[in-house]
Amino acid sequence: MDDPLKLPESFTLDHDAVSAPFVRLAGRHVLAGGGEVVKWDLRFEQPNEGHLEMDTVHSIEHSLATTLRTITDAVVDISPMGCQTGFYVSVDAAELDDFDVFTEVLARGIQTALELNTVPGSSRTECGWAHSHSIEGAKEALAGFLDKRDEWNVIYGEERA
């Protein structure tokens, strides 16, 4: 008999119980060679109620991948969620596992992204789907997310109708 499947942490999250937008510590991975990586869940849209358009997701990914790395070397990766409701940001836990510290970096990264005139790395040679970008969509979504920064620490909302 095969081993049972090992599910990602997010598959055990009750997606009906959460209240977007939020920023959630979604996992901690101890590296065999020492050190730890933590994964942050940046949720822009309410699961199963809203989603970002793919070109917007793509441009946010490119923008934050650039602006967050410009601020700190502690960012390992930023990945779009396939459900198009948010992103995962994996970071060096030694520097960015504290909510207040991480969200300060995140807010600065978003502010810098809002000042961009072009999407970084969006030319045909730099990107695998260069046609699928929307800087307008990315800025609108990022501005809306940043506007609700005071809600980022509230992951589970009131019972919704």
Question: x-or-dash pattern for Zn ion, window 75-114, by CB under 5 A?
Answer: ----------------------------------------
| Residue 2: CB minimum distance to Zn ion, A | 35
Q: Of 54 and 127, which CB lies nearer to Zn ion in the complex structure?
A: 127
Closest among 13, 24, 129, 147 to 86, alpha carbons compared: 24
Sheet holding 22-30, edge to edge: 22-30, 36-43, 86-92, 75-80
Interaction between residue 54 and Zn ion (CB under 5 A): no
| Residue 130: CB minimum distance to Zn ion, A | 7
Q: Which of 127, 146, 154, 155 binds Zn ion (CB under 5 A)?
A: 127
> Which one of 20-28, 68-76, 81-89, 120-128 is the stretch in contact with Zn ion (CB under 5 A)?
120-128
